[in-house]
Amino acid sequence: MRTHFATNVWAIFRQDDALEGKEWVAHCLDFDVVTQGRTFEHALSMLGEALLMVISEDLSAGRDPAERRAPEEDWLELTRLASSARSVDIHAIQPGTVILLSAKIDIDGRRVDEQQADGSARRTPRLPGATPQPIALLASA
């Protein structure tokens, strides 16, 4: 069974006016995972945690995480946004800006034993830090 998974991913981050406090929504297109956070940095961290859960579950079940993918219209939106995007510093992100992130994720699925409530042991992946490592950060108006 595969226990290590590394890849580059694309994600779209935007503030959602419908959410309390205009939270940031993050959508990783490579795995069709959506999450949110209070700030861009928080959304990035939450996306990392969500990706770890999804990928580790796939690896534990013997599925290939690379088979997940957002619908084609989401990839077309990424292409459209990227055509007018410019590089941006993570500390210079302005409200209302759509952020495109290219990042590396690396999951080491070494096993550890976990005690279940019924007393049985469950072998689950031991996961490193959850935040994807940015390769490129682009802003699109």
**9-38 pLDDT, tens per residue?**
899 999 887 877 789 999 999 999 999 999
Query: pTM to 2 decimals?
Result: 0.78
* pLDDT tens track for 34-90: 999 998 889 988 998 898 888 888 888 888 888 889 999 999 999 998 888 888 887
* pLDDT tens track for 117-134: 455 444 443 444 445 666
Q: Which own/partner pairs from 48-54 qualify as long-range (CB within 8 Å, at least 24 positions apart)?
A: 48/105, 48/129, 48/130, 48/131, 48/132, 49/130, 51/9, 51/105, 51/130, 51/132, 52/107, 52/127, 52/130
Domain count, the chain: 1
Look up the domain containing 73 and give its range.
4-140
Classify residue 47 by burial, with Cβ atoms within 10 Å: 0-12, 13-18, 19+: buried
Beta carbons within 8 Å of 49's beta carbon, 6+ residues apart: 35, 130
- Report the pLDDT averaged over residues 132-141: 69
pLDDT of residue 118: 52
pLDDT category of residue 109 using cuts at 50, 70 and 90? low
Q: Give the residue with greater pLDDT, 1 vs 23.
A: 23
